[in-house]
Chain A
């Protein structure tokens, strides 16, 4: 079972570059989420989606964009990367509502230099 798959696992970007973090799930889950986790901190919600074509901002959306064209995929776009975006990014999904447990991907460790 693949579950939630994130690519890449590691990436180093230069300030001002752009990139897309990929997230795919094969469990037919409606809800998908992007979090960032800084050292010693919990997870901060960046964006979430309740289904294909529907996205909404979380707690820390600035500097990021998302799209949800299919149920399976939920890519996160970083435009004009800044050092403050150095973090570990986790994608997660939950079945039919946000009141159900989340399944997490393995994370993407991103450094902006």
Chain B
């Protein structure tokens, strides 16, 4: 069973701070890594994706991937109350010749004013 692990939180940060969300995965052959944001009662929406080791930045968001240590993280700079949501990590894991997205349970982020 391929696993994707996230701390369920909640992670509470003050407005303007950096929020750091972490995710570990068990399949060394994983190829693609995604972060989705999910507001309560809504569907997941893509925040970032990363395929190669290192950092990838998009506005206030930075995804970091370390394949040797099998973790991927998401940094949110200048956190805003509107960033309060559950963040889902997804990793494509090998399954019978295909690569299938496997999701973690999600980390709840609360940004307080």
Q: Which residues of A contact B (CB under 8 A)?
A: 33, 35, 40-45, 48, 50, 56, 58-59, 90, 97-107
Contact = CB atoms under 8 A, between A and B. Distances in A.
A90 B43 contact: yes
B88 to A, nearest CB: 6
Contact of A58 (B8, B45, B88, B100): B100
B45 A40 contact: no
Interface stretch (B12-20, B61-69, B72-80, B103-111): B103-111
Given A40-B105, A56-B96, 4 more contacts: A33-B101, A45-B100, A101-B34, A102-B90
SS of B interface (majority): strand
B84 interface: no
A33 B92 CA distance: 13
Nearest to A107: B43
B98 interface: yes
Interface of B: 4, 6, 8, 31-32, 34, 42-46, 49, 51, 88, 90, 92, 96, 98-106
Most buried by A among B4, B44, B99, B105: B44
A101 B88 contact: no
B43 A43 contact: no
9 contacts: A42-B103, A42-B105, A45-B100, A45-B102, A98-B32, A102-B46, A102-B90, A106-B43, A107-B42
B52 to A, nearest CB: 12
Contacts of A102: 34, 44, 46, 90, 101
Nearest to B51: A99
